[in-house]
Copies of this chain bind each other. A is one copy, B any other.
């Protein structure tokens, strides 16, 4: 079993009528229901109880999903460092949509991870530029999202180890929408879809990709990556 923990800040769903209409119990509950199966167990955590996002929780998490937006700045620095260290030790991490600007993602990337955006409900096509990658398994040439917030290049991330998806918006923009990284012992996947006002996480192919990414980021090994002082191998 892969033990997944979903962090969703769960603010917009309580304060914005349009979001509440799409995700009445929070998008984490929709993700949880969609992701749970015979291979994946899911726990959830929200901003209101972020004090429970402890080293102990991370130690028993194989893959962490992160969705955040308006509370990025209020996530304690110590929590962000805990997440960064867990990834470096081997925990998988999937950063969803506006989590490109979350503290742990920026710590792991070392760059601002900024992009441009607009909210016009554009149609998006998500193209699998590497259909051979396990994260794209089961995806046809593209996934169509009827409406999505538009994210635009330039996206100030390090060159991905592997680019899996590119998004095309009807207004003309593009975004590197599925990006793989290895950092320390951990594997990281950034996945752009998921604006809170559209039912993105009800889309079966989006769920399929996230499930694929859970299996891809899962590393059964954890390790401290500090290196010791050594002695000469042979005298």
Contact = CB atoms under 8 A, between A and B. Distances in A.
A203 interface: no
A226 B114 contact: yes
A189 to B, nearest CB: 15
Interface stretch (A21-29, A61-69, A153-161): A153-161
Given A110-B108, A154-B131, A166-B153, A229 B174 contact: no
A232 B118 contact: yes
Interface string A216-235: 00010101011111111110
A116 B223 contact: no
Contact of A132 (B108, B132, B141, B221): B221
Given A117-B229, A223-B131, A110 B125 contact: no
Contacts of A167: 174
A37 interface: no
Interface residues of A, number: 66
Contacts of A125: 172-174, 233
A110 B106 CA distance: 8
B231 A118 contact: yes
Interface stretch (A4-12, A50-58, A180-188): A180-188
A110 B110 contact: yes
Contacts of A161: 159, 161-162
Contacts of A127: 152-154, 173-174
A5 to B, nearest CB: 21
